[in-house]
Amino acid sequence: MSGISFLHCTLVTARLGGYPAGHRVHPGMLELAARLLKKEEGDILIDSYVFRCGDAVAFLLTHRGKEEIDTLVGAILGSCRDYMGKKKISSPASAPISSCCLSFQERESEEIVVFLSDLPTVDLYNHHLYRIFGDPFSTTRLVLDECLLEGFVFTTSAGKSIIDFSLPEDTYRLLASIRRPKESRVYMVRRRDGEPAASVAIPFGVGAPGLLLRSGGVFPTYGEAAEPFAQPFMVRSSGIERPMMPLLPVSLCDAQGSRSGGPPRVICLAFTIAGGRLIGPADIFDDPALDQARQFGSRIAGYARAHGPFDPFV
């Protein structure tokens, strides 16, 4: 095993502020972050990609070593904050970050899918991960494909306890545990043989909700990963100014909201990895097949917002 070279794929998310008042990240800051990361390729990094959803910014990094990544990310985020300060754009207080990492031997055809939302919420991504890796009515290959038939292991964090649930036999126990996300959160999914499948950005409730997963072959496809988002499920806000709102799957060009109080957005990008290099992204939610979900979610958001200060969803 000592001769095996693992590829590390890291997702870092942060909320650094935007204009006007958190509507979207300044494009100059994205360019600065991308340029600084490109300078590190060939040394600390293999490849990188910078993107955003609303005022949430994310770095997708591929690398072999892990020792210097935290220092590098901290320095680049510091430069981004300085840039925003010069533009007189204030960042959220302390602007904490979240991150997750998948470490694996690169397959002959390696695919990854990344999700990023602009809303700090406890509700991402328990429901969606169950639909992707545990529900055959969403991912039909769980019962039709021998590669997925054995199921997946969900690792949850409940207070100070770390609990594993092996699906399908632990399905009811898992759902009973994660149905209240404030009490129990899924943060890792893996195959029975230990091969990592998905990782959620932690710590929860800070930065911006990010999800990194592998797709294709012995994992659900990118389409199966996107399928649960075709329903605009309700999610809570960490702020007191807006009620529960539907989560809208949107393309990169629509990854910002203008209505007061929501609704929140989520984007989905897919990449192929070859020799550690990122090929892509493909903007998975840039699809007219999701127009109905967006329209339905917008109607729900309008109904919820019409209640004004009377919270319609507790």
Q: Are strands 265-274 and 248-249 parallel, antiparallel or unpaired?
A: parallel
Cα–Cα dist 133/146, whole Å: 14
pLDDT tens digits along 158-214? 888 999 999 999 999 999 999 998 889 999 999 999 999 999 999 876 668 999 999
CA angle 284, 257, 60 (to 5 degrees): 45
Pick the residue with more confidence: 303 or 294? Answer: 294
Cα–Cα dist 94/59, whole Å: 19
Tokens encoding 77: 């985020």
Distances (CA, A) of 190 to 28, 88, 305: 38, 44, 39
What confidence score (pLDDT) does residue 1 get? 46
Omega of the bond leading into 125 within 30 degrees of 0 (cis): yes
Name the nearest CA neighbour of 107 among 197, 11, 17: 197
pLDDT tens digits along 111-145? 999 999 988 777 899 999 999 999 999 999 999 99
Is pLDDT at 304 greater than 90 in this prediction? no
Using CA of residue 148, residue 191, residue 209, residue 61, what is the dihedral sign?
negative
**Contact between residue 76 and residue 59 where contact means Cβ atoms under 8 Å apart:** yes
Tokens encoding 228: 């649960």
Residue that has been written with the tokens 């529900």 in this structure:
135
Residue that has been written with the tokens 């360019």 in this structure:
31
Mean of the pLDDT values across residues 70-92? 88
What confidence score (pLDDT) does residue 11 get? 98
What confidence score (pLDDT) does residue 208 get? 87
The DSSP line for the chain is: -TTPPPEEEEEEEEE---BTTTTB--HHHHHHHHHHHHHTBTTTBSEEEEEEETTEEEEEEEES--TTHHHHHHHHHHHHHHHHHHTT-PPPTT--EEEEEEEEPPPSSEEEEEEEESS--TTTTHHHHHHHHH-TTT-THHHH-TTTTT-EEEEEEETTEEEEEETTTTHHHHHHHHTSTTT-EEEEEEETTS-EEEEE-BSTTSS--EEEEEESTTS--HHHHHGGGGS--EE--SSSSS--EEPEE--GGG----STT---EEEEEEEEEETTEEEEEEETT--GGGHHHHHHHHHHHHHHHTTTTS-S--
Taking all residues of the chain, what is their mean pLDDT, rounded to a whole number? 91
Q: For a pLDDT cut of 90, what percent of the chain falls above it?
A: 71
Largest Cα–Cα distance in the chain? Answer: 61
What pTM does this model have? 0.95
Cα–Cα dist 102/9, whole Å: 5
What confidence score (pLDDT) does residue 121 get? 79
In terms of average pLDDT, the best of 220-229, 240-249, 294-303 is: 220-229
Name the nearest CA neighbour of 153 among 139, 167, 142, 137: 167
Cα–Cα dist 1/263, whole Å: 48
pLDDT tens digits along 31-47? 999 999 999 999 899 99
